[in-house]
Homo-oligomer: A and B are copies of this chain.
C-alpha cells in the first residue's frame, strides 16, 4: 500500500474548522488506498504568541527553555488533528518528537535531525492507524526538547518521508505552490509547475517562505518526491524535481525578497590577517547565521566590513560585535535594520552572461541604490533600502519573467 506523508502548515490548521477540513482531506487520501502520515505545524499565530510571552520575561530568552515553550504549539495542533480524525470515525494516533525519537543535535532553535525511529510509526500504520506527528520538534541525545527553526515542520515531513521511504511528501500550505514571485506585490506572478531543488534552495534562502531550506536539501539528498500544494484547493501545485539537462530551463525562475535581515557595519577596522575570524567566530558560537559579507579595503590601511544577520538576532550580534570592535580598534559600529534583500534565481543563469549587469541597470533606472551584492551560480542578490522592495521586485519580475523574450 502506498505511503503518503502530508504536511499541513500553520494557516491550514489555524482554526478548529480548518483542522476539521484537513482531517477530511487526510481521510480522502486514506480512502484512496494509502497509508497516511500527517505532520503538522502549530496553529497560525501560536508560535508568535508563545514567543511574545517569552520576550515579556527576557529580552534574550534562554534557548533551551524557549524550545520547550515553542514545542507546545505543535503538541496542541497534533492532538487536535488526531481528535478531528477520530471524530470522523478514523483510527488515528499522535506522536510527539520524543515518542518517535526524532533525534537532533543540540542546537536549540535550529536543530538538525540526525535520525528517526520509524518503528513506532510503522507499527501504528500496520495497525491501520493514521499517524499524526508533531512537526518542528525533536529531542537531543539527552532528551532535551529541540526545535528545527521557522518552517521546521517541512523538514520534519521530508525527513519522515525519507525514513519511511514514502511515495510522496505533500506540503500543504495556504498558497497554490511556488510562485515566480510574491503575488501580493506583483499581480503577474505565476505558479510554477515544477522547480529544481537548487532553485528552490536559492529561492528559500533569499526570502521565498514556502519551504524550509533544510527540507529541500533533505529531499534532494534522499530523492524524496515533494509536492507543494494548497490545502484549500484540489489543484496540483509545484513539484520539486531533480535537475535534468534535457528539460528546457528558463533564465530566471523566480524573484524573491527578504525584509528580515539587518545590516551591521564595522567602520575603519585596521586591516590585518585573521580579522574576519576574530569578528565572526563569536557570532558563529552564538549560533547566529551571517548571510552576506562584504569587505571594502580603503587606502589608509583600514577596511569597512559589512554583513547581514537575521533581524531577530541583530541585538545579540551587535553586543558581540561591539565587544570585538574595541579589541580590534574599529572606529565604530553601525546598524541598519531597514534593508531588504532582493534576488533573482534560475539555473539558466549558469549558461547566460550579463544577467547581473541587466539587473543592476534595471534597478539603477528606477533610482534604487544597491548597498551590497552577493551572487551564486544560479542567483544574484542585492541589498537595497527596504522602502524600494516592492518596486524592485516588480521591475525585475517584469523584465526577467513576464517579458523574458524581450531581454
A: residues with CB less than 8 A from B are 16, 19-20, 50, 53-54, 56-58, 61-62, 64-66, 68-69, 71-73, 75-76, 78-80, 82-84, 86-87, 93-94, 96, 98-99, 143-145
Contacts and interface: CB of A to CB of B under 8 A. Distances in A.
18 contacts: A16-B53, A16-B56, A19-B57, A54-B83, A57-B80, A58-B83, A61-B86, A64-B93, A65-B79, A65-B82, A66-B79, A68-B75, A69-B76, A71-B75, A72-B75, A72-B76, A98-B143, A99-B143
Contacts of A144: 99
Contacts of A56: 16
Contact of A78 (B19, B68, B86): B68
Nearest to A69: B79
A96 B142 CA distance: 13
A80 B75 contact: no
Given A54-B79, A66-B79, 17 more contacts: A19-B57, A20-B57, A50-B76, A53-B76, A54-B83, A58-B86, A58-B87, A62-B83, A64-B94, A68-B75, A68-B78, A69-B83, A72-B73, A72-B76, A72-B79, A96-B145, A98-B143
Contacts of A53: 16, 76, 80
Contacts of A71: 75
A283 B96 CA distance: 31
Nearest to A56: B16
Contacts of A80: 53-54, 57, 69
B83 A79 contact: no
Contacts of A87: 57-58
B86 A75 contact: no
B76 A94 contact: no
Q: Do most interface residues of chain A lie in helix, strand or loop, or is the interface mixed?
A: helix
A62 B86 contact: yes
A18 to B, nearest CB: 11
Q: How many copies does the complex hold?
A: 2
A59 to B, nearest CB: 8
A57 B75 contact: no
A296 B19 CA distance: 49
A132 B382 CA distance: 47
Contacts of A79: 54, 65-66, 68-69, 72
Among A71, A76, A79, A98, chain B packs the most CB atoms within 10 A around the CB of A79
A111 to B, nearest CB: 16
Given A16-B56, A16-B57, A57-B16, A75 B69 contact: yes
Contacts of A93: 64
Nearest to A50: B76
A153 B132 CA distance: 28
Contacts of A75: 68-69, 71-72, 75
A32 B78 CA distance: 42
A177 B65 CA distance: 32
A69 B58 CA distance: 26
Contact of A57 (B54, B57, B84, B145): B84
A115 B53 CA distance: 33
A280 B151 CA distance: 50
A124 to B, nearest CB: 12
Contacts of A72: 72-73, 75-76, 79
A208 to B, nearest CB: 31
Contacts of A61: 83, 86
A65 B83 contact: yes
Contacts of A16: 53, 56-57
A145 to B, nearest CB: 7
A122 to B, nearest CB: 15
A123 to B, nearest CB: 11
A142 to B, nearest CB: 9
